């Protein structure tokens, strides 16, 4: 099963990101139901490994915290492939990310090692962009550099299944893990 660990976003934040997505004329916007902040992409895992992950994630104790999206950026090795909403620095988020990664590794899961760079993917771009599309992306990044979403409370995180279909990925929640009150 293809899986990941993430924070699901409140509807109000998804609505703010939809407005942001609407101002971009290039690429394929991520559907509102797929907007999330990923801690770890686990790739394909056996059911037993996901049961071990669930047990390890259930044992995590961490406080709830406030989070805010601010600014936009791109990822891509040679050219921009993804447009994302950036996340304001949050020590509690970074601490939780570390706890999750350690718990998954201690449970024996193997997955790609990546430096945690908190973000929310809002659009995927074609592999090759024309000059006008490059200009559109550049204009979007410049115009939205000051984007600031509403602050929101993070009170839980979850384990999700991702199924790839011709129309795109479908995400299904497998389990949620509460964070303690403020």
Tokens of 164: 């790839």
Residues 164, 18, 94: CA angle, nearest 5 degrees:
75
Per-residue pLDDT of the chain (182 residues; tens, 9 = 90+): 999 999 999 999 999 999 999 999 999 999 999 999 999 999 999 999 999 999 999 999 999 999 999 999 999 867 889 999 999 999 999 999 999 999 999 999 999 888 999 999 999 999 888 999 999 999 999 999 999 999 999 999 999 999 888 877 889 999 999 999 75
Residue 174 dihedral angles phi and psi, to the nearest 5°: -100, -35
Which pLDDT value is given to residue 50? 96
Q: CA–CA separation, 59 vs 43, rounded Å?
A: 22
DSSP letter at 32?
A: G
Model confidence, pTM: 0.93
Which CATH topology does 2-68+90-118+150-178 take? Cyclic Phosphodiesterase; Chain: A, (3.90.1140)
Beta strands in the chain (DSSP E): 2-8, 28-29, 36-44, 65-67, 69-75, 82-87, 119-124, 152-154, 156-165, 168-178
**91-106 helix and 47-58 helix, angle to the nearest 10 degrees:** 130
């Amino acid at each position: 099963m293809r899986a990941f660990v993430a924070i699901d976003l409140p509807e109000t934040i998804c609505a703010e990101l939809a407005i942001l997505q609407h101002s971009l004329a290039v690429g394929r916007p991520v559907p509102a139901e797929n907007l999330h902040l990923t801690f770890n992409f686990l790739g394909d895992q056996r059911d037993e490994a996901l049961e071990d992950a669930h047990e390890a994630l259930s044992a995590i104790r961490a406080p709830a915290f406030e989070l805010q999206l601010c600014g936009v950026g791109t990822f891509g090795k040679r050219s921009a492939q993804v447009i994302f909403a950036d996340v304001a620095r949050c020590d509690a988020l970074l601490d939780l990310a570390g706890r999750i990664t350690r718990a998954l590794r201690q449970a024996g899961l193997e997955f790609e090692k990546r430096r945690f760079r908190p973000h929310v993917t809002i659009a995927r771009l074609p592999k090759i962009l024309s000059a006008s599309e490059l200009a559109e992306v550049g204009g979007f990044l410049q115009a939205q550099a000051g984007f600031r979403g509403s602050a929101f409370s993070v009170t839980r995180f979850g384990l999700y299944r991702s199924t790839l279909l011709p129309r795109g990925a479908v995400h299904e929640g497998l389990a949620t893990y509460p964070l303690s009150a403020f």
